[in-house]
Chains A and B, each alone.
Chain A
């Protein structure tokens, strides 16, 4: 079964750090591009970051310089290292598998999400 399972969320103080993990099964994370998408309480979806199969990484302006996306191929796991956390980073964080086709790009598999709360 194709599945993504996130972990690592929790309560952290402003300025602190947290590392999220996303374990994949049923496919290889290094063969697809993988993204993190977040959703603040009561708000919409916000794309955060992507890592392509070749290893290139890109970030939303809101997290650039603070967050780092990576993967461990042998563990088939995606990560999001979050530093210098702010209250506005409070959200449910989802990992998602990306798929490209003719003039489209879609996130076809999503994890269940992990909650990150930044508060003192």
Chain B
């Protein structure tokens, strides 16, 4: 199976812009989906497809992709954005019927 690689931790000053990246061969075939997870809570989908936000997700969250790298950008980070963020896509190494998650990035808002 293929892998998705994320930086373990990233920090951002309140109100500034931060980019969280995800690398993997599967991202050459599929857009990444991004999930936010706060302590003790279930993951929440924040970005899917080329750059789509589910209802209720603030427009400060955006996604982009280039080659084997996907990025989640938070423009004007807020204190409530402090969380773990995971990328995910179908696994293109086999039958494309399985999924793979990145290891997660812990975002700290200073």
Contacts and interface: CB of A to CB of B under 8 A. Distances in A.
Interface of A: 35, 37, 44-47, 50, 56, 58, 60-61, 94, 99, 101-108, 110-113
A15 to B, nearest CB: 26
B66 to A, nearest CB: 14
Interface string B23-52: 000000111010101000011110011100
B103 interface: yes
A113 B86 contact: no
A50 B95 CA distance: 13
Contacts, number: 76
A102 B86 CA distance: 20
5 contacts: A45-B43, A56-B97, A104-B31, A105-B90, A108-B48
Interface string B1-43: 1000000000000000000000000000111010101000011
A104 B101 contact: no
B33 A104 contact: yes
Contact of A107 (B31, B45, B102, B104): B45
B97 A110 contact: no
Give the interface SS of chain A, mostly helix, strand, loop or mixed. Answer: strand
A94 B44 CA distance: 12
B77 to A, nearest CB: 22
B28 to A, nearest CB: 11
B54 interface: yes
Interface in B88-107: 88-90, 95, 97-104
B110 to A, nearest CB: 23
Contact of B86 (A44, A56, A103, A105): A44
A32 B3 CA distance: 25
A37 B30 CA distance: 19
B48 A101 contact: yes
B91 to A, nearest CB: 8
A50 B43 contact: no
The 8 closest A-B pairs by CB, nearest first: A106-B48, A106-B33, A47-B99, A104-B31, A104-B49, A44-B104, A110-B42, A45-B101
